[in-house]
Amino acid sequence: MKSNPSYPSSLFPAPAPASASAPAFVSAPIPTPIESEGGNGHSHSTGERGPVRSSVLELLSSAKPNLEAFHPHFVKMGITDGNALRDLLSWPVHVQERMLRVELGGAMSALQLYGLIAAMHQWKESH
């Protein structure tokens, strides 16, 4: 590497000799999601019978059109589990709709937004 006269040579360390060994990486177990919907933002948890979908993903996939691709938006808003959905749905309807329009209006079409609102109210009735 050529040194640049405007910078001290200490910023450009000499290449390591060919005999130097590469750093060793220790493999660690990959963390798995928590089994409950504890608001951790994970989309799936692992139950006895395999993956269990979160309430947020259930809601988004039940919407017409399917809105699963918007899951990261919900996580960013703090809506990561059934408890957070119930909290949101406890608000007056006009406040829910206004918040969703503000938070998702630039990301969703009108069809998607109103499909989400309809799915939220169906989810509330069934939970």
Q: What is the domain partition of the chain in residue ranges?
A: 50-127
Average pLDDT on 8-25 reads 51
Average pLDDT on 35-43 reads 41
Q: How far apart (Å, rounded) are the C-alpha atoms in residues 33 and 60?
A: 20
Q: In this predicted structure, what is the pLDDT of residue 105?
A: 81
Higher pLDDT, 121 or 26: 121
Q: Find, among 44, 113, 126, 46, the residue nearest to 85 by Cα.
A: 126
Residue 86 has pLDDT above 60, yes or no: yes
Lowest mean pLDDT among 46-50, 96-100, 114-118: 46-50
Question: Containing H/E element for 85?
Answer: helix 82-89
Q: Find, among 49, 31, 106, 48, the residue nearest to 73 by Cα.
A: 106
Q: How far apart (Å, rounded) are the C-alpha atoms in residues 41 and 81?
A: 8
Q: In this predicted structure, what is the pLDDT of residue 25?
A: 44
Distances (CA, A) of 90 to 28, 38, 71, 106: 42, 19, 20, 24
Residue 79: CB atoms within 10 A of its CB come to 21
Residue 61 has pLDDT above 90, yes or no: yes
Higher pLDDT, 113 or 32: 113
Residue 42 has pLDDT above 50, yes or no: no
